[in-house]
């Protein structure tokens, strides 16, 4: 199975609302102390493997629509 990972298409547009963090069932998305957005690719891929599909929750819940998969 090929995995896709979320990324920010425009970091300046991200408000840091953390809707994506709350939406992520894999708990793979986080913000660090500098409010930088991060994805734990291992957690993300393990969750996709578990559900046998690509998860789009972070993209669906992003208010600014700046999260895409690659």
Which domains does the chain carry?
6-69 (3.30.70.20)
Q: Is the full-model pTM beyond 0.85?
A: yes
In Å, what is the CA distance from 41 to each residue of 4, 12, 64?
A: 9, 22, 22
Contacting residues for 46 by C-beta, under 8 A, at least 6 apart: 26
| Confidence (pLDDT) at 1 | 78
Task: Give me the torsion for CA of 47, 3, 60, 64, rounded to 10°.
Answer: 120
Which residues of the chain have a pLDDT value below 70? none
| Confidence (pLDDT) at 36 | 94
| Confidence (pLDDT) at 2 | 83
| Confidence (pLDDT) at 26 | 98
């Amino acid at each position: 199975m090929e995995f896709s990972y979320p990324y920010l298409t425009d970091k300046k547009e991200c408000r840091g609302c953390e809707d994506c963090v709350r939406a992520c069932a894999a708990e793979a998305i986080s913000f660090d102390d500098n409010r930088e957005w991060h994805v734990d690719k291992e957690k993300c891929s393990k969750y996709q493997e578990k559900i046998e599909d690509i998860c789009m929750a972070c993209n669906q819940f992003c208010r600014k629509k700046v999260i895409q998969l690659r």
